[in-house]
Structure 1
């Protein structure tokens, strides 16, 4: 496959890799073939996807934020093997395409950086980091999208400003236009 598009966000629900309906709809609107739209989130484990016909479970922002904070602390202080445990699965998913457009929400950019992926993998990534909260971003092409209304991410660097709250970036017409343009360009470049 020449190009794939996938999400890398924090695990608000650590029991699932399912995409939310909003994430699915955002993927649906991108100008790439269906096979290029990866319908799992980090860590891309099909065993963590809900069974066919099951509903995606909404996680309240307070609980998702708490889980992200716990993950943030555990990775830095307690889980020295976190990257080694997750890197092979992420690398396997990224190896399925010549180039990957990563939609990194919230702490997803930090998680991607902490995987310590090899340079040859990073060179094949373009990351759109929306609402990014990252102390250790990866060294690859990254476009940071943020909003002054986002109380979690407004203090972090940004390349593009949109009007959004922390959970509403995928509703932003500016983010949709940016991702549409990138998907088109990357699809052409990979062809």
Structure 2
């Protein structure tokens, strides 16, 4: 059984799918082979620009614009990104999706078929989602996260909206889920 772990967050920089240093570091600390660590972010297009830091206010504004664009042009947006996302999700038998911020909502709005969703376990941290996907989702929240604290959470950690990946409880949860996925038939 092959397992992969990947990030799925909104594109704070719409010209890039590169991971942030914190996302790379989080993957580095997970007990899976390097080949199981997807080093790109949504929508998994390695032809896009390299990583550039984006301030929270600008990333939040871009996510809000994306949120409304998807609602106005859902079919064209989904038609554009679904093939690359599906291809990445089908690259392994099981996938642990680390969905930050609006990532859970993006995944839900793709309307992926059940055979794809059945392969996923989603850890949604700082999740802002009005339409989560129909798969196993563990929501990780924080009372300190002023953007996501109004959404439901299954697990609480001490983190701000950009600090979830530094929370030891999130790493522990992901290690446990990876062990579960690797042991699954």
Q: Same-fold call, TM > 0.5?
A: yes
User: Is the Cα–Cα contact under 8 Å of residues 40 and 49 in structure 1 kept in the other structure?
Assistant: no
| Structure 1 residue 83 corresponds to structure 2 residue 78 | yes
Aligned equivalents of 1:34, 1:82: Cα separation in 2: 31
* Contiguous gaps of at least 5 residues in structure 2: none
1:114 is matched with which residue? Answer: 109
Alpha carbons of 1:91 and 1:78: their partners in 2 closer, same or farther (altered >3 Å)? closer
2:36 is matched with which residue? Answer: 36
What is the TM-score normalised by the length of structure 2? 0.97
Aligned equivalents of 1:62, 1:122: Cα separation in 2: 32
Aligned equivalents of 1:63, 1:2: Cα separation in 2: 37
1:71 is matched with which residue? Answer: 66
- CA shift for structure 1 position 184: 1.6
Q: C-alpha root-mean-square deviation of aligned residues, in Å? A: 1.1
What is the TM-score normalised by the length of structure 1? 0.94
1:173 is matched with which residue? Answer: 168
Matches within 5 A, 1:40-189: 40-50=40-50, 56-189=51-184
The count of aligned residue pairs is 185
Aligned equivalents of 2:73, 2:93: Cα separation in 1: 34
Aligned equivalents of 1:171, 1:79: Cα separation in 2: 33
